[in-house]
């Protein structure tokens, strides 16, 4: 028997559904390889209004990761859509309005509460995805779990942007790893803007050959996105993106591994073209746990700049850069420096690749709260469904958002 639910097709008998696949218009179920052998733990209806019902399947993603799949449809269509080949039983039909009415009351209460607490200085979040190389190689479901969590939290956390910190894959020449990464990142398409920057594992370092990186994350992939600003040269190794939140303009400036002098000159020009934007610089190698890195390029015997050199040649000279984020080195680190204009620059290392299971799915969320002039840092694992409450992983930073940064006189 076949049950059609929105754009999925579910095979099974009665409510027992054994597999769900989807079509190209559903980014969650874009590929049959994303959700396979879907064993629902629960099937239920809820309501978000008097006319809308949601059917939810709690499934196992590739038999490892739980994931919630939902589809909305109008209440009059429940009979024909949910059980297309089998009429809804009389008892189910009688019970449905009562169940959905209760859900509707709860949801409407939550909406009213959210509207009451929303202010002009609305908080928003930026998520950091550090070093996913092990996931692309061995733990593809963990990568998918991370981006699914971001997708599901996009509205709740008001996620404005996702920044990948490089080392997307383990081996730059192995296409299956790029396919795993692409499958995960595409879950964010049309939901949350995101940027990529190549790490040393994303290229043949000696020659800086980033062919597969640019096959999957070329300028053409992002060209029609309104938040994509542009790139350097013919590749997307160096690029910049935008977002706006709470009346402020932000730029994400993504730089190649151990950026060359010409890259830093390009980056300086980009930041100077947008003096009214607050700039976050993302580059794979910059910080170590206790200081800036000094061997990004020399360790690999290539021409390029270390974290310390990036600071001296670019960061300290550009007054609108307020945050630098990086991975590459296992661990976390944080320091605050003062640029040439007297402004504060936050420098942050985030990398969990050496932990069990390739990193245990840990990622970071930076919650900007303009009313407090604070950034609240949260470290969370969708794989483990828990926060890391260690003082180095959960903390708050001072950051002034009540006035707009401009170039120094």
pLDDT for res 402 = 80
pLDDT band at residue 252 using 50, 70 and 90 as cut-offs: very high
Query: Nearest-5° angle of CA 327, CA 163, CA 314?
Result: 65
pTM here is 0.73
pLDDT for res 298 = 96
For residue range 269-289, what is the model confidence (pLDDT) as tens digits?
Answer: 999 999 999 999 999 999 999
pLDDT band at residue 109 using 50, 70 and 90 as cut-offs: very low
Tell me the pLDDT of the chain averaged across its residues.
78
Read off the pLDDT of each residue in 364-372 and give the average, rounded to a whole number: 97
pLDDT band at residue 121 using 50, 70 and 90 as cut-offs: low
Does residue 181 have a pLDDT over 60? yes
Read off the pLDDT of each residue in 345-358 and give the average, rounded to a whole number: 97
pLDDT for res 406 = 47
pLDDT band at residue 403 using 50, 70 and 90 as cut-offs: low
Query: Do 267 and 238 contact (CB within 8 A), yes or no?
Result: yes
Read off the pLDDT of each residue in 396-403 and give the average, rounded to a whole number: 90
Task: Give the closest residue to 408 by CA, choosing from 322, 342, 360.
Answer: 342
Does residue 303 have a pLDDT over 70? yes
Does residue 114 have a pLDDT over 90? no
Read off the pLDDT of each residue in 247-259 and give the average, rounded to a whole number: 98
Q: Is 136 left (phi over 0), alpha (psi -120 to 50) or beta?
A: alpha
Q: How far is residue 366's CA from residue 368's CA, in Å, rounded to a whole number?
A: 6
Does residue 60 have a pLDDT over 90? no
For residue range 191-202, what is the model confidence (pLDDT) as tens digits?
Answer: 999 999 999 999
pLDDT for res 48 = 33
Q: What percent of the chain shows pLDDT beyond 90?
A: 68
Q: What is the 3-state secondary structure (H, E, C) of 42-69?
A: CEEEEEEECCEEEEEEEEEECCCEEEEE
Read off the pLDDT of each residue in 385-399 and give the average, rounded to a whole number: 97
pLDDT for res 27 = 40
Does residue 30 have a pLDDT over 70? no
For residue range 312-351, what is the model confidence (pLDDT) as tens digits?
Answer: 999 999 999 999 999 999 999 999 999 999 999 999 999 9
Query: Encoding tokens for residue 255?
Result: 């730089």
Q: Which residues lie across from 126 on neighbouring strands?
A: 161, 366
CATH 2.60.40.1240 matches 124-398: no
Query: Would you list the domain boundaries of the chain?
Result: 2-116, 124-398
Query: Encoding tokens for residue 343?
Result: 């402004």
Read off the pLDDT of each residue in 385-402 and give the average, rounded to a whole number: 96
Query: Do 326 and 281 contact (CB within 8 A), yes or no?
Result: no
pLDDT for res 275 = 97
Query: Nearest-5° angle of CA 80, CA 37, CA 4?
Result: 10
Greater pLDDT, 109 or 64: 109
For residue range 156-170, what is the model confidence (pLDDT) as tens digits?
Answer: 999 999 999 999 999
Does residue 32 have a pLDDT over 90? no
């Amino acid at each position: 028997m076949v049950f059609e639910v929105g754009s999925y097709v579910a095979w099974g008998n009665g409510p027992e559904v054994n597999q769900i696949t989807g079509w190209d218009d559903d980014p969650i179920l874009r590929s049959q390889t994303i959700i396979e052998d879907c064993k629902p733990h629960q099937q239920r209806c809820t309501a978000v209004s008097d006319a809308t019902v949601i059917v939810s399947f709690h499934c196992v993603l590739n038999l490892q990761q739980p994931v919630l799949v939902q589809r909305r449809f109008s209440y009059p269509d429940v009979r024909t859509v949910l059980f297309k080949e089998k009429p809804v039983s009389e008892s189910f039909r009688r019970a449905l309005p009562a169940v959905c009415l209760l859900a509707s009351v709860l949801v409407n209460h939550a909406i009213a509460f959210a509207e009451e607490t929303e202010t002009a200085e609305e908080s928003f979040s930026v998520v950091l995805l550090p070093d996913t190389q092990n996931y692309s190689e061995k733990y593809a479901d963990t990568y998918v779990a991370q981006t699914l969590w971001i997708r599901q939290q996009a509205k709740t956390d008001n996620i404005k942007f996702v920044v990948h910190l490089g080392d997307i894959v383990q081996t730059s020449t192995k296409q299956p790893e790029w396919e795993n990464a692409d499958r995960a990142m595409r879950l964010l398409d049309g939901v949350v803007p995101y940027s990529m920057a190549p790490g040393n594992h994303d290229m043949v370092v000696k020659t800086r050959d980033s062919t597969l990186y640019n096959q999957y994350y070329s300028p053409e992939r992002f060209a029609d996105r309104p938040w994509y600003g542009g790139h350097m040269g013919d590749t997307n190794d160096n690029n910049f993106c935008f977002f706006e939140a709470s009346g402020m303009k932000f730029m994400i400036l993504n730089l190649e591994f151990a950026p060359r002098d010409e890259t830093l000159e390009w980056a300086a020009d980009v930041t100077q073209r947008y003096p009214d934007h607050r700039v976050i610089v993302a580059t794979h190698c910059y910080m170590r746990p206790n200081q800036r890195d000094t061997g990004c390029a020399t360790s690999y015997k290539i021409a390029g700049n270390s974290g310390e050199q990036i600071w001296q040649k670019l960061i300290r000279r550009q007054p609108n850069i307020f945050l630098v984020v990086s991975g590459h080195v296992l661990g976390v680190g944080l320091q605050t420096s003062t640029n040439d204009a007297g402004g504060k620059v936050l420098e942050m290392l985030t990398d969990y690749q050496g932990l069990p299971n390739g990193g245990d799915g840990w990622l970071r969320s930076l919650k900007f709260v303009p009313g407090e002039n604070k950034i609240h840092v949260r470290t969370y694992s969708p794989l483990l469904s828990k926060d890391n409450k260690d003082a180095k992983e959960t903390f708050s930073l001072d950051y002034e958002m009540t006035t707009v940064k401009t170039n120094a006189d």
